[in-house]
Structure 1
Amino acid sequence: MKNLFSALAMTTFLFSANAMAEDLRIGFADPVSSIDPQLNNHAGDHSVAKHFWNGLTGKDPIKMEPGVAKSWRNIDPLTWEFTLHENAVWSDGKPIVAEDVAFSYERALDVPGSVATVKGFIRTVDKVEIIDDHHLIIKTTVPDPLLPVSLYNLYIVSKHVGEKSTTEDYNSGKAMVSNGPYNYAGYTPGDRVLMKRNDAYWGDKPEWENVTYRYINNGPARTAALLAKDVDVIDKVSVADIAKLEKSEGVKVYAYPGLRALIMQPSFNPEPSKYITDKAGNPLKENPLLNQKVREALNLAINREGIVSRIMQNGATSANQWMPEGTFGYDPDTKDIPFDAAKAKELLAEAGYPDGFKMTIHVPSDRYPQGPETAQALAQFWSRVGVETQVEVVPFSVYSGNANKGEYAMTMIGWGNGTGEGTYAMTSILATPNKEKGLGASNWGNYSSAEFDKALADVTSEFDNAKREEIIRDAVKIVAKDVGIIPLFHYKNIWAARDDLKVVPWNSDRTVAMQVSKIKAD
């Protein structure tokens, strides 16, 4: 163990001492649970994985660029054929073959220790048939027009290493035989990931020879690190720091519309919750959040524009659904949610809670920018209409496990909509939870609607884009009527960097070294 830490320390020293033009240091916000690319469907894990691994399809889920597969075609409603790159190799020099794909999909179905399974990306896959080393057939259980989009986030790992490796082996570097633009150079959990350019990579060669990917969970601390020149790029810039950074010499700010929504998930657990009591602190006989009027009251009690302008300082846009305006599946007929405290009080009385009740809501301390501050604002809004609300802020490592077990009365989730269209959220945070089918993996509130689930089944099998979008829009209406979730706002994607660097976003809202390039002199 001592030798391992000594090696990591030396590697870290070399990376920091050798910060030349071809080296890049990124300060990022999203925590990483593991560098095992199939353990958890977490934003930070995905951002790291994009450096080391490819899926069958490539970096842009909208344009559908090639990944490990160079081409694919739909043979019939249940059959897809994929052709792999002939020159694609693992970082140890062995060729990437169809057996690796088949192994990866089998492994992803059950990774020990997962709290947010990735198997939702392959939930429709029935079997993988190997034709030869570079050709394979994927059979689906139902027609799935979005299969290539889903496969973008399911990373291919090597069979020859992976079949004898555990998550701990990936985290230690022992199993890090990668197929992406970067190779593993070191990992210190909770601190940083070190990467070195993969010169054997068959795709576009990355600009940076060495990358230090450093976890800095506090927004002001990321800003301070950039201004002190300890890092070259930071993501999720604290909205309170934007003006300061824009005025700082040697720094540029890059802001783009984002896909990530901040959402509250009320508990649909039929059992009484220890986090909801009457005003005297006594347990209630039933969960009041099961009452649609109570959920609607909480929804109407929120001043979203106030949160956006005061807490987010216009670094976000208010949300009435999970996808932002202008994206595939956004429903223009779903109206903005008004701020109406008087109506909220009426609904609580109609629901049988004229005096309200007490509730504790939970939020991670180290996950969502301005998440704790937003939760405190919600507590004030809800307390004003009679629902006395307290906020408990806990580390994400604790929060995610408890939320996944449905222990909380009201949870907060930042959903990245990483496929660029509406079905990703439908599958993961809104579908009735079904572990075997890979549905509802992050549906922490256990929302369940037969009408919604039918819409998800229908959209999964519809190949016509116009019809598919209409089904998604209908699903938005179902969730809005049910108040199955309480959408708050969509983050803007804001990066800051040295003024000789340019940051261009990916549609998936990730933060990766491949987004960053040197500005060429005229």
Structure 2
Amino acid sequence: MKKFLFAAMFCAAATSAHAQNVLTIAAQSVPTAMDPHFHRANSNNALLRQVFDPMVDYDTSGRIVPRLAESWRIVDDRTWEFRLREGVRFHDGTPLHAEDVAFSFARLPLVPNSPGSFASAVRTVSGVTIVDERTLRISTSEPSPFLDGEMTSVMILSRRLHENATTADFNTGRAMIGTGAYRHVSYVNGDRLEVERNPNFWGAAAPWDRVQIRFVTSAGARVAALLSGDVDLIDGVPTQDVARLSADRRIEIFSTDANGTAYLFPDSTREQAPFITDHQGRPLDRNPLRDVRVRRALSMAINRQGIVDRLLAGQGRPAEQFAPPIVLGRAPDRAPIPNDVARARALLAEAGYPQGFRMTIHGPNGWFPGDAEVLQAIAQGFTRIGVVTTVEVLPTATVFSRATNRDFAMFMTTYASNIAAITLQQVVATRNTATRMGPFNRQHYSNPAMDRVLDEALRTMDRTRRDALTAEAMNIAMDDVAVIPVFYLKASWAGMRSRVRYDASPSWYTNALHATPAQ
């Protein structure tokens, strides 16, 4: 009787939700905060785009399209002009003005305890001139060909509403007032976010009355929730379940090649690194990861094709550089990285480690499908060449904070961007807080030769010359094994065929902006 009553109550709730045009999503990644300027992470960026808007954004084909700005132009090499839409208001009725853009730029570097700052998005901005309430001119300290692309990451807040707002104010909902298609209803940390349609949205009316996004880190639990009808859409579809779910007539799979790379970041700069010992557990007299031959050996120890074929069931592609094929400016015709155990062992011996050593590598559990299993496969490859490796997986927020504190010898994560030069600038450019270079360079890698080429690429307005410079910088970084790229991600969502369609995002964004009711 209890089971019958529960089933009846659930069916009634589900029927009511559908009648009210409610979309329910199970998402694998838990956001680290609701402050749109706190953490430049996909999970945060995706969710907060429902409530807040940038001036421009990427669509799912990789084009930059208008959002709060209806138009923009390059005035000269160091000046961009943006024209805001007329009549845009924040959810409480406060009008949007050009001064709000200037305020948002100024706030980016001031958000405390950020594990990944947005400040680098405005690193070249030297001034903002308010021409009128809807027009602003952005001056830059050097030519900035990617400024419009950088603007896609900056959510615009209101000076009047958010001048004194803290990250805690966003988490409690007090400051969750944006210009977006949906208004904030509630947020429970680690559990769910609820939003509702903004009736005064500046664009086309959002198709859903209400949206509930539940954070479900367990892949099996997400699939079970979908199959039971408890949710309409899930992300992070387990790679081994894609074929099975595709064969289910109730389910539709929405997939795309992503703009992200799963990679390992070795500590190649410190004289001593944590989690590295000899085979008896004693600290080594030097950090073996400082030697490029060791880094190359570890890269060659990874069976990338095997990981993609067996662990990811073909849902990905082996990586040969730090930018997927869909990303602009990547190095052309770079050879695949061989899986060569004999050569890897020889390189270790040349570097003075013929017997190898011991190491622990770290990574997230629930950041992308199969992440923990991929890390185990990498460890097995390392062990095969004599680097006996253990794995420790942690919650994503813990991985990011500890990696920022330089707690690891090597960790695995991902980075996503539509522009190869931005990926290099964010992750492997020499870290410099003053110039806001390398904000995600958590291992403090530094290569002056690469920096010089990348710096020129970042200020070259000519596309052909810029792409050539970016490719050169990419080749320098990859030859030096600044990071160890493993595979390019493929993002998949699964939805109830009768309920929802999803415009799969290469940025692997999960939110209601990409979802429409099934016709």
Scaled by the length of structure 2, the TM-score of the pair is 0.94
Question: How far off its partner does 1:415 sit?
Answer: 1.2
Query: Equivalents in 2 of 1:222, 1:320: separation in Å?
Result: 32
- 2:72 matched residue in structure 1: 72
Asked if 2 retains the 8 angstrom alpha-carbon contact of 1:117 and 1:438, the reply is: no
Query: Equivalents in 1 of 2:222, 2:315: separation in Å?
Result: 17
**Do residues 519 (structure 1) and 518 (structure 2) align?**
yes
Query: Equivalents in 1 of 2:326, 2:153: separation in Å?
Result: 23
- 2:3 matched residue in structure 1: none
Task: Describe how 1:317-396 pairs up with structure 2 within 5 A.
Answer: 317-396=317-396
Task: Go from structure 1 to structure 2 and tell me whether the alpha carbon gap of 1:323 and 1:21 turns closer, same or farther (over 3 Å shift).
Answer: farther
Once the two structures are superposed, residues 162-184 of structure 1 have per-residue CA deviations (whole angstroms, 9 ceiling, x without a partner) of 11211111111111111111100
Query: Equivalents in 2 of 1:21, 1:421: separation in Å?
Result: 40
Query: Equivalents in 2 of 1:172, 1:494: separation in Å?
Result: 31
Asked if 2 retains the 8 angstrom alpha-carbon contact of 1:15 and 1:212, the reply is: no
Question: How far off its partner does 1:16 sit?
Answer: 9.2
For residue 137 of structure 1, give the secondary structure of its aligned residue in structure 2.
Answer: strand
Asked if 2 retains the 8 angstrom alpha-carbon contact of 1:30 and 1:217, the reply is: yes
Query: Equivalents in 2 of 1:294, 1:452: separation in Å?
Result: 20
Q: Which runs of 4+ in 1 moved over 4 A?
A: 13-17
Asked if 1 retains the 8 angstrom alpha-carbon contact of 2:24 and 2:232, the reply is: yes
- 2:425 matched residue in structure 1: 427
Question: How far off its partner does 1:373 sit?
Answer: 0.7
Query: Equivalents in 1 of 2:438, 2:195: separation in Å?
Result: 33
Asked if 1 retains the 8 angstrom alpha-carbon contact of 2:311 and 2:373, the reply is: yes
- 1:151 matched residue in structure 2: 151
- 1:5 matched residue in structure 2: none
**Do residues 52 (structure 1) and 51 (structure 2) align?**
yes
**Number of aligned pairs?**
506
Question: How far off its partner does 1:21 sit?
Answer: 5.8
Which letter does structure 2 place at the counterpart of 1:499? R
Question: How far off its partner does 1:256 sit?
Answer: 1.6
Question: How far off its partner does 1:15 sit?
Answer: 9.7
Task: Describe how 1:108-187 pairs up with structure 2 within 5 A.
Answer: 108-187=108-187
Which of 445, 469, 472 is equivalent to 1:471?
Answer: 469
For residue 45 of structure 2, give the secondary structure of its aligned residue in structure 1.
Answer: helix
Alignment RMSD (CA, Å): 1.6
- 2:17 matched residue in structure 1: 18
- 1:85 matched residue in structure 2: 85
**Do residues 457 (structure 1) and 451 (structure 2) align?**
no
Once the two structures are superposed, residues 119-144 of structure 1 have per-residue CA deviations (whole angstroms, 9 ceiling, x without a partner) of 11111111212122111111111100
Query: Equivalents in 2 of 1:472, 1:139: separation in Å?
Result: 24
- 1:4 matched residue in structure 2: none
Query: Equivalents in 2 of 1:270, 1:191: separation in Å?
Result: 39
Asked if 2 retains the 8 angstrom alpha-carbon contact of 1:263 and 1:412, the reply is: yes
Query: Equivalents in 2 of 1:412, 1:443: separation in Å?
Result: 13
Which residues of structure 2 form unaligned runs of 5+?
Answer: 1-11
Which of 486, 490, 498 is equivalent to 2:496?
Answer: 498
Task: Go from structure 1 to structure 2 and tell me whether the alpha carbon gap of 1:144 and 1:45 turns closer, same or farther (over 3 Å shift).
Answer: same
Query: Equivalents in 1 of 2:69, 2:335: separation in Å?
Result: 41
- 1:6 matched residue in structure 2: none
Which letter does structure 2 place at the counterpart of 1:161? L
Question: How far off its partner does 1:14 sit?
Answer: 8.9
- 2:6 matched residue in structure 1: none
Task: Go from structure 1 to structure 2 and tell me whether the alpha carbon gap of 1:59 and 1:324 turns closer, same or farther (over 3 Å shift).
Answer: closer
Task: Go from structure 1 to structure 2 and tell me whether the alpha carbon gap of 1:60 and 1:406 turns closer, same or farther (over 3 Å shift).
Answer: same
Which letter does structure 2 place at the counterpart of 1:354? P
Which residues of structure 1 form unaligned runs of 5+?
Answer: 1-12
Question: How far off its partner does 1:275 sit?
Answer: 0.6
- 1:197 matched residue in structure 2: 197
Query: Equivalents in 1 of 2:15, 2:264: separation in Å?
Result: 40
Scaled by the length of structure 1, the TM-score of the pair is 0.94
Query: Equivalents in 2 of 1:292, 1:363: separation in Å?
Result: 22
Identity rate, percent: 34
Question: How far off its partner does 1:19 sit?
Answer: 3.5
For residue 152 of structure 2, give the secondary structure of its aligned residue in structure 1.
Answer: helix
Question: How far off its partner does 1:439 sit?
Answer: 1.8
Question: How far off its partner does 1:59 sit?
Answer: 4.2
Question: How far off its partner does 1:455 sit?
Answer: 2.2
Query: Equivalents in 1 of 2:343, 2:116: separation in Å?
Result: 37
- 1:258 matched residue in structure 2: 258
For residue 51 of structure 1, give the secondary structure of its aligned residue in structure 2.
Answer: coil
**Do residues 436 (structure 1) and 464 (structure 2) align?**
no
Query: Equivalents in 1 of 2:58, 2:202: separation in Å?
Result: 14
- 1:212 matched residue in structure 2: 212
- 1:484 matched residue in structure 2: 482
Which letter does structure 2 place at the counterpart of 1:437? T
- 2:235 matched residue in structure 1: 235
Question: How far off its partner does 1:99 sit?
Answer: 1.2
Query: Equivalents in 1 of 2:274, 2:132: separation in Å?
Result: 56
Task: Go from structure 1 to structure 2 and tell me whether the alpha carbon gap of 1:208 and 1:106 turns closer, same or farther (over 3 Å shift).
Answer: same
Query: Equivalents in 2 of 1:116, 1:271: separation in Å?
Result: 25
Q: Which moved more, 1:181-190 or 1:54-63?
A: 54-63
